[in-house]
Amino acid sequence: MATGSDEHQPKLKLYSYWRSSCSWRVRIALNFKGLKYEYIPVNIMKGEQHNPEFLKLNPIGYVPVLVDGDLVLSDSLAILLYLDEKYPQRPLLPTDLKGKAINLQQLNLLLDRYEKHENSSLKSSLGNASM
Ligand SMILES: N[C@@H](CCC(=O)N[C@@H](CS)C(=O)NCC(=O)O)C(=O)O
């Protein structure tokens, strides 16, 4: 799963599940920016997010996780903001302050609504009837 042409770009690793919307947004950003990355599948439907090796990376047991050298990031918004600053080609956010603020507002409003539908731990604590 590699795109882009920069031979000198350090190897990024993405732990991801194909049906996870949190992971989609990171994969979209990586591909939009033309960044090469190693794709490591974590099947959250089979419970692979609870494997001890994965929990060492992200003790919360969620995907996506991005590894860039010694940095491990385990939240899609943090990953997007990090990628946008580190790899400024094809920016994800507007560069003017007001435009950026409005985009972040929309993003967080959307994330608030989506995430509660995707997390098995939240589902089991709330019960299926409430989802
Ligand atoms: N705030 C995190 C949320 C990550 C998240 O909710 N990941 C879900 C898939 S979209 C997950 O890994 N769920 C595993 C589980 O429910 O056990 C982000 O935006 O990356």
Torsion of CA 56, 13, 15, 50, to 10 degrees: -10
Query: Residue 3: inside a domain, yes or no?
Result: no
Q: What is the pLDDT of residue 98?
A: 97
Counting from 1 in the atom list of ligand 1, the atom nearest the Cα of 63 is 12
Query: Residue 5: inside a domain, yes or no?
Result: no
Query: Residue 2: inside a domain, yes or no?
Result: no
Q: How far is the CA of 74 from the centre of ligand 1 (A)?
A: 9
Ligand 1 site-directed mutation target among 83, 119, 122, most atoms within 8 Å of CB: 119
Q: How far is the CA of 119 from the centre of ligand 1 (A)?
A: 6
Q: What is the pLDDT of residue 53?
A: 97
Query: Residue 35: inside a domain, yes or no?
Result: yes
Q: What is the pLDDT of residue 108?
A: 83
Per-residue pLDDT of the chain (131 residues; tens, 9 = 90+): 544 445 666 789 999 999 998 999 999 999 999 999 999 999 999 999 999 999 999 999 999 999 999 999 999 999 999 999 999 999 999 999 999 999 999 988 887 776 666 566 656 666 654 43
Following DSSP, what letter does each residue of 41-68 receive, concatenated? E--TTTTGGGSHHHHHH-TT--S-EEEE
Q: What is the pLDDT of residue 119?
A: 63
CA dist., res. 97 & res. 92, Å (int) = 14
Q: What is the pLDDT of residue 5?
A: 47
Q: What is the pLDDT of residue 131?
A: 37
**Domain ranges, residue 102:** 12-130
Q: What is the pLDDT of residue 100?
A: 94
Following DSSP, what letter does each residue of the chain receive, concatenated? -B----TTSPPEEEEE-TT-HHHHHHHHHHHHTT-BEEEEE--TTTTGGGSHHHHHH-TT--S-EEEETTEEE--HHHHHHHHHHHS-SS-SS-SSHHHHHHHHHHHHHHHHHHHTTT-HHHHHHH-GGG-
Query: Residue 60: inside a domain, yes or no?
Result: yes
Query: Residue 1: inside a domain, yes or no?
Result: no
Ligand 1 proximity of 54 Cβ (cutoff 6 Å): no
Number of independent structural domains in the chain: 1
Whichever domain contains 16, its CATH number is 3.40.30.10
